[in-house]
Amino acid sequence: MKEKKLVFRKQNVLYERRISRCREKGVCPDCRGRGVKKVLQNEYYYVEPLECTGCKGSGKFTDWNRLKVIS
């Protein structure tokens, strides 16, 4: 049980670090400022990149933060 708590704590620290770095840069943490999310694909499966649901395609941290507060 203690190991699970340590793993969750480590994941939380990494997530918070990623959020703070993206805040400094001003980019969306979900798409890292690209505005789209790439789908894993191979030679038999192709999908156009999807608009980022976190920032609605803008790639900006302010839009991501505003949408996270709403939901």
Structure confidence by residue, pLDDT tens digits, 11-62: 999 999 999 999 999 999 988 888 888 777 777 777 677 888 889 889 999 9
Name residues whose C-beta falls within 8 Å of residue 14's C-beta, 6 or more positions apart in sequence: none
Residue entry with tokens 């789908």: 39
Nearest in space to 30 (alpha carbons), one of 69, 66, 60: 60
Beta strands in 1-71 (DSSP E): 36-37, 50-51
pTM for this model (two decimals): 0.72
Residue 63 vs residue 39, higher pLDDT: 63
